[in-house]
């Protein structure tokens, strides 16, 4: 019995191209939605950290004596609270911890 080879026709090529395009679209859609979810979770965590530091700062102010200051850290955020000699809040700074990137030295001194 003579074996008849099955050859790929134009329809096969078309469906292959369509499948590849749809697959790429699917991968992009999934990665975008994954990035959205990761960003929203990071935002939620940051807000929780901020208000946790707020609680610690307010508790410190309840018992702080004039001239005292305290630094609170949580995750990568730092809260610095200071009370002046009159018992008023003189500093309330909340910032993210970061280290300067010094991999490129003396790129431009500004003059």
Partner 1 sequence: MKKHITAFYLETLALIVAFLGVLLVLSQVFGLARVQSEKAGQITAAVSLAERAAEAVASSGSLEEVQRLLDENGNTAIQDNTLEIQAEDLRASVTWESEGKLVRSHITVDWNGSELYSLETAAREEETP
Distance of closest approach, residue 98 Cβ to partner 1, in angstroms: 23
Print the binding letters for residues 32-71 with partner 1: x by CB under 8 A, - otherwise. xxx-xx-xxx-xx--xx--xx-xx--xx-xx---------
8 sits near partner 1 (criterion: CB under 8 A): yes
74: closest CA among 92, 51, 58?
Answer: 51
Tokens of 90: 């003189």
The DSSP code sequence of 11-71 is: HHHHHHHHHHHHHHHHHHHHHHHHHHHHHHHHHHHHHHHHHHHHHHHHHHHHHPPTT-EEE
Binding-residue pattern over the window 9 to 28 for partner 1, x denoting contact by CB under 8 A: x-xx--x--xx--xx--xx-
- Alpha carbons within 13 angstroms on the beta-carbon side of residue 72 total 21
Site residues (CB under 8 A) for partner 1?
A: 2, 4-9, 11-12, 15, 18-19, 22-23, 26-27, 29-30, 32-34, 36-37, 39-41, 43-44, 47-48, 51-52, 54-55, 58-59, 61-62
């Amino acid at each position: 019995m003579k074996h008849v080879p099955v050859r790929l026709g134009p329809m096969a090529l078309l469906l292959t191209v369509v499948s590849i395009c749809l697959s790429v679209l699917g991968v992009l859609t999934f990665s975008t939605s994954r990035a959205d979810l990761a960003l929203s979770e990071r935002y939620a965590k940051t807000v929780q950290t901020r208000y946790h530091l707020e609680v610690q700062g307010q508790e410190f102010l309840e018992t702080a004596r004039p001239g005292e200051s305290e630094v609170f850290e949580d995750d990568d955020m730092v809260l610095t609270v200071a009370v002046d000699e009159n018992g008023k809040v003189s500093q309330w700074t909340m910032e993210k911890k970061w280290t300067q990137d010094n991999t490129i030295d003396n790129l431009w001194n500004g003059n």
